[in-house]
Structure 1
Amino acid sequence: MPIQFCPWCGNMLSLTSTENSEETKATLAFVCNTCPYSFLMENECVCHYIYTKRKELDDVLGGADAWKNVDNTEAQCPACNHDRAYFMQLQTRSADEPMTVFYKCCKDGCGYRWKE
């Protein structure tokens, strides 16, 4: 069933469950959260969940190859307090803003990344 909209105000309707004191089974109704419109479901409703596949994200810094030929400098790693880190500068904002400096810890086994 497609998304339902209120014929009076145009807002999206919410699906709610209501219990009748006369009957033991619950009934479903589409109700508007902004106006008094409601629509009782008379037929049986079957809900299906569709899970979308998430897109794989690209590494904006170029992946593992981007760190192969970069220089290192004295910078303290926030994770392990190692005193050397690889660095690269990229223009991530508009041209009148300073470049962003990305760091990667030089210590084997750490590899923590941060930026300034």
Structure 2
Amino acid sequence: MLFCPLCANMLLVEPDITDTRFYCQTCPYVFHIKNKVVTKVPLVRKVVDSDVFGGEEAWKSADQVEVECPVCHHKRAGIIDIQVSLAPEPKTSFLRCRNPSCEHQWQKK
């Protein structure tokens, strides 16, 4: 952003027939753009914890139930109950296989 040196208002861009220029809305100041300046700023993505259940500590302290894993058929799983919607509905149960080589997660139906 550039500002007018006369009145300190923000300059606006106006494409002209011969060139592009900055101009001020309140005073007659005009700045002709001679060179094109392009700056590329790479997007730095924020690292987000993909486990919305509270991470590994929440699964370690989760209650254990006897249920069969649909992937490895292990007989024990951890269970966490979470209120998914704002509506007055019952909590949704999510399970995670206790087999260290599997750790499959699924929703209780």
TM range (shorter): 0.5 to 0.7
Q: Which amino acid aligns with 2:95?
A: Y
2:65 equivalent to 1:77? no
Measure, in 2, the Cα distance between the counterparts of 1:97 and 1:78. Answer: 26
Superposition pairs of residues 1-116 of structure 1, within 5 angstroms: 50-58=41-49, 59-116=51-108
Measure, in 2, the Cα distance between the counterparts of 1:79 and 1:48. Answer: 50
Q: Deviations over 1:34-83 (max 9, x none)?
A: xxxxxxxxxxx898764311111133211111112222112221221212
Q: Report the number of matched residues.
A: 79
Percent identical residues: 39
Q: Which has the larger radius of gyration?
A: 2
Change (3 A) 1:78 1:47: farther
Change (3 A) 1:79 1:46: farther
Q: CA RMSD in A?
A: 3.1
Please, what TM-score do these two structures have when normalized by structure 1?
0.52
- Structure 2 portions without partners, runs of 5+: 1-35
Please, what TM-score do these two structures have when normalized by structure 2?
0.55
Measure, in 1, the Cα distance between the counterparts of 2:86 and 2:67. Answer: 26
Task: Give the secondary structure class of the aligned counterpart of 1:102.
Answer: strand
Change (3 A) 1:78 1:50: farther
Measure, in 1, the Cα distance between the counterparts of 2:65 and 2:38. Answer: 57
